[in-house]
């Protein structure tokens, strides 16, 4: 069984903000799989489905970004999912809008949702897809990440979300090194 998690903040005021790229990707993936993420448990919203014959859970933690690991940890323990079978999707200030970066493990890089995830999973060895949101030199980080994308950025974001969905699907069936080599180039 695999777990694909999108990080974000719950509530209408956070919809379509830069910090909710993970939620956006999970919603898009759910649409492509024709499933609804509507089961409330484990401090999150989730759905259990199959991709290429393998059980997978799509999860949107509802704890707010800084406590995301609480929800992920609960799902991991309940379903007995190994850390190496977890893929976390989230925003990254250090990548330009429209770029994704896929890694097998790594530090939090200052991202509070990933700090929480590392703490609750007991290590950094889980897979991740970072979606670029860039940063603005004149806007404080907190205000920037909770802001909306411009129309020009939205076009680039849509491409990144689509590539992230393709990479997540490949995560289900292919060696992760191959997934990284395919999608880190785009």
The residues carrying an active-site annotation are: 19
According to DSSP, the residues that pair with 44 across neighbouring strands are 41, 61
Q: Which long-range contacts (CB under 8 A, 24 or more apart) does 42-50 make?
A: 42/71, 42/74, 42/75, 42/78, 43/67, 43/70, 43/71, 43/74, 44/71, 44/74, 44/75, 46/75
Give backbone dihedrals phi and psi of 4, rounded to 5 degrees, phi first: -115, 120
């Amino acid at each position: 069984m695999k777990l694909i998690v999108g990080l974000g903040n719950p509530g209408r005021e956070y919809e379509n903000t830069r910090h909710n790229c993970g939620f956006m990707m999970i919603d898009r993936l759910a649409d492509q799989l024709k499933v609804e993420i509507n089961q409330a448990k484990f401090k999150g919203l989730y759905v259990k489905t199959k991709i290429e014959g393998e059980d997978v859970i799509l999860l949107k933690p509802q704890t707010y970004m800084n406590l995301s690991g609480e929800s992920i940890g609960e799902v991991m323990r309940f379903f007995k999912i190994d850390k190496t079978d977890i893929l976390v999707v989230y925003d990254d200030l250090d990548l330009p809008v429209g770029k994704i970066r896929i890694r097998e493990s790594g530090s939090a890089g200052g991202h509070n949702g990933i700090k929480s995830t590392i703490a609750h999973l007991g290590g950094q060895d889980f897979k991740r897809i970072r979606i670029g949101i860039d940063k603005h030199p004149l806007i404080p980080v907190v205000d920037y990440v909770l802001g909306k994308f411009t129309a020009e950025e939205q076009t680039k974001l849509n491409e990144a979300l689509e590539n992230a969905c393709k990479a997540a699907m490949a995560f289900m069936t292919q060696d992760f090194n191959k997934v990284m080599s395919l999608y880190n180039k785009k």
